[in-house]
Amino acid sequence: MRVVVIGGTNFIGPYVVATLHRLGHEITVYHRGHHEPELPSGVRHLHSPLAGIPVLHFPPEIIDPAPEVVLHMFPVGEDDARAAMARFTGIARRMVALSSGDVYRAYGRLLGTEPGTPEPMPLDEDAPLRKALYPYRHTAAGPADWTFHYEKILAEQRVMNHPNLKGTVLRLPAVYGPGDPYHRLRPYIRRMDDRRPAILLETAQAEWRWTHEYVENVAQAIVLAVVDDRAAGRIFNVGEAETPTVANRVRRIGELAGWNGTVLPLESGRLPHHLRGPYQPHQDLVVETSRLRDELGFVEVRSKDEGLRRTIEWERANPPPSGDPVAAEYAAEDAALR
Give the pLDDT confidence of 64-89 residue by residue, as tens digits: 999 999 999 999 999 999 999 999 99
pTM score of the predicted model: 0.97
> Tell me, what's the pLDDT at 231?
98
HEC letters along the chain: CEEEEECCCCCCHHHHHHHHHHCCCEEEEEECCCCCCCCCCCCEEEECHHHCCCCCCCCHHHHCCCCCEEEECCCCCHHHHHHHHHHHCCCCCEEEEEEEHHHEHHHHHHHCCCCCCCCCCCECCCCCECCCCCCCHHHCCCCCCHHHHCCHHHHHHHHHCCCCCEEEEEEECEEECCCCCCCCCHHHHHHHHCCCCEEEEEHHHHCCEECEEEHHHHHHHHHHHHHCHHHCCCEEECCCCCCCEHHHHHHHHHHHHCCCCEEEEECHHHCCHHHCCCCCCCCCECECCHHHHHHHCCCCCCCHHHHHHHHHHHHHHCCCCCCCHHHHHHHHHHHHHC
- Predicted confidence at residue 281, as pLDDT, reads 80
For residue range 203-213, what is the model confidence (pLDDT) as tens digits? Answer: 999 999 999 99
